[in-house]
Structure 1
Amino acid sequence: MPRRIWLVGLSGAGKSTIGPLLAGRLGYRYVDLDREVEELAGETIPHLFRVGGEAEFRRLEARAASRAARATDVIVATGGGWMARRDIDRTSGGRVRVWLRVRPETAIHRLSGEGAEVRPLLAGPDPAAALAALLAAREAAYAEAELVLETDGREPEDVVEVALRCLRRLAPRPPADREGTVEGTVEGTTEGPQES
């Protein structure tokens, strides 16, 4: 099993829900990069955006990511924009990146529930359009992940089961065994609901 698993994807993809469940199943530590940023800043992310702007948030996010990258046996839930950053190394440290793919309309539904925090980049008059634009801008970066999991129409526990199955199949094997790999064992493979 990979010892550093980083969850990537849009806000509303389920990273902060799947992460603790997956960590519990593996006996790993769970790290939420947004919460780490808040700890470094000593304030909430919405307040940080208001006071220091996105640039200050990104600076602290890079610090938090660097700290998390040194850990092992860890599940890291990244912010929605982390995977699209070109100013930090997103691939070092033996990480396996898992893209939790979600349709923008599903993400908006999840993010608009009672008690949900307003995400700074979605605080405008049309958050659905903003989220769709963010996905369009970030999709190519998300697609660099070693594993892609569909979350639409799945309960969190189901996503965790699929993740565990696919992560086990990502374990390194001798080069001679890599020919003819089955679905779910190579970079960029998508595992999602089967269509009839």
Structure 2
Amino acid sequence: MSDSDSSNVVPLPGVVPAAGRDEAEAARVSERDPFLGALGERVRLLRARKGLTRRALAQGAGVSERHLANLELGVGNASILILRQVAQALSCSLAELLGDETTASPEWLLIRDLLHGRSEAELQRARIALNQLFGSAPRDAARLRRIALVGLRGAGKSTLGQMLADDLDVPFVELNREIERVAGCSLSEIHNLYGPSAYRRYERRALEETIELYPDAVIATPGGIISDAATFGLLLQHCFTVWLQASPEEHMQRVVAQGDLRPMSGNQEAMEDLKRILAGRAAFYAKADLSFSTSGQDLAAAFGGLREAVRRATGQALR
């Protein structure tokens, strides 16, 4: 058959000519989701770093070579199970495959590997050392003059915080009020109109302004301040933090006593939710410099114990 006759060839049913396949592939790539495209590029990068062929990786992951090719092109159906298999075959974490800041450069990867498997105490020492290395950690004496109370709602942060501020003769700052000032609207309006991401931005800005404006203060923080690692890290760097603890039952009772009956909707279910929240946040609250339990104590006893514990822990830094 001559070249001039090739244009008259009719493809067999179900068979797409090579040129057509290339065009179809190009069309699929052009329409791919940006996230899937970036994911595919990371898979190719990691595969190249490991020196694996596509076939070898497909065999190691237990997926078809065609499926892997689609994944690398950013047009595959990337189920979480397939991604886990690919990550295992590449000897990397699922987070590295999906991509986060710690995968941005070789130095990040080396630092992450250095910290992998370390205990909580070792990681804390590393965090403090990094703060000191980059000059972001204030002098201890300055940090001890700013007391921040953390914990769930109902722990006594507002009531005990005001009493402690009066005793130390320093300003008392309710961070929730500062968030409302920065945002120009109430907390409920922030959540309803702008969502949780906007709330976290206002929370961070309010904390930054509070740290700058008040060298001496007692600060009552929102219970969810630990939700953003950067904001919580800022708090730990610049304040002497105290975790006010109480039993879940006492948290609930105190919130209801304040006139908020919402936690009682669903009763036992609400209590279970509260316990789950407390369990999920406990490891972060435990990063505080001091823990103090208010369980089983009346207001006078709780304040007396907190006052003594704070003065003993901060020493001469308090006036």
TM-score bin, normalised by smaller chain: 0.7 to 0.9
2:296 equivalent to 1:153: yes
Q: 1:102 aligns with which of 246, 251, 254?
A: 246
Aligned to 1:91: 236
2:236–2:288 CA contact under 8 A, matched in 1:
no
Alpha-carbon deviation of 1:124? 7.2
TM-score norm. by structure 1 comes to 0.78
Would you say how many aligned residue pairs link Structure 1 and Structure 2?
A: 169
Q: Which residue of 2 aligns with 1:42?
A: 184
1:77 aligned to 2:207?
Answer: no
Where 1:91 maps in the other structure, the secondary structure is: helix
Report what 1:51 is aligned to: 193
Matches within 5 A, 1:9-48: 9-48=151-190
Residue 108 of structure 1 contacts residue 127 of structure 1 at CA under 8 Å; is this kept in 2? no
| Shift, 1:106, TM fit | 1.0
Unmatched tracts of structure 2, length 5 or more: 1-140
Residue 171 of structure 1, CA deviation: 3.3
For 1:61, the equivalent position in structure 2 comes to 203
**Offset, 1:156:** 2.4
Measured at CA, do residues 24 and 117 of structure 1 come closer, stay the same or move farther in structure 2, by a change above 3 Å?
farther
Residue 83 of structure 1 and its aligned partner are, at CA, apart by 3.1
Verify the 8 A CA contact 2:190 2:198 in the aligned structure 1: yes
2:15 corresponds to: none
- Give the aligned residue type for 2:179: V
Structure label with greater radius of gyration: 2
Q: Letter of the 2:170 partner, please give it.
A: Y
Match of 2:283 in 1: 140
Amino acid at match of 2:236: T
- After superposition, the Cα gap between the structure-2 partners of 1:114 and 1:156, relative to the gap in structure 1 and judged at 3 Å, is closer
Give runs of ≥4 in structure 1 deviating > 6 Å: none
Percent same amino acid at aligned positions? 33
Q: Which residue, 104, 108, 115 being the options, matches 2:259?
A: 115
Instruction: Measure, in 2, the Cα distance between the counterparts of 1:110 and 1:171.
Output: 28
Q: Which has the larger strand fraction?
A: 1
- Which whole-Å CA distance do the structure 2 matches of 1:143 and 1:152 have between them? 17
The answer to whether the 8 A contact 1:32-1:78 is kept is yes
Summarize deviations over 1:41-78 as a string: whole Å, max 9, x none: 22221222111111111110111111112222200000
Q: Superposition RMSD on alpha carbons, in Å? A: 2.2
3-state secondary structure, aligned to 1:127 = helix
Counterpart CA distance in 2 for 1:146 and 1:102 is: 17
The answer to whether the 8 A contact 1:149-1:159 is kept is no
In the TM superposition, what is the alpha-carbon distance from 1:19 to its structure 2 partner? 0.7
Residue 69 (structure 2) aligns with: none
Deviations 1:122-159 (A, max 9, x none): 69754322221211111001111111111111122322
Bigger drift between 82-91 and 59-68 goes to 82-91
Name the CA distance, whole Å, in 2 between partners of 1:58 and 1:152. 30
Aligned to 2:14: none
Letter of the 1:96 counterpart: F
How many Å separate the matches in 1 of 2:295 and 2:188? 27
Query: Which runs of no fewer than 5 residues in structure 1 stay unpaired?
Result: 174-196
Richer in helix (by share): 2
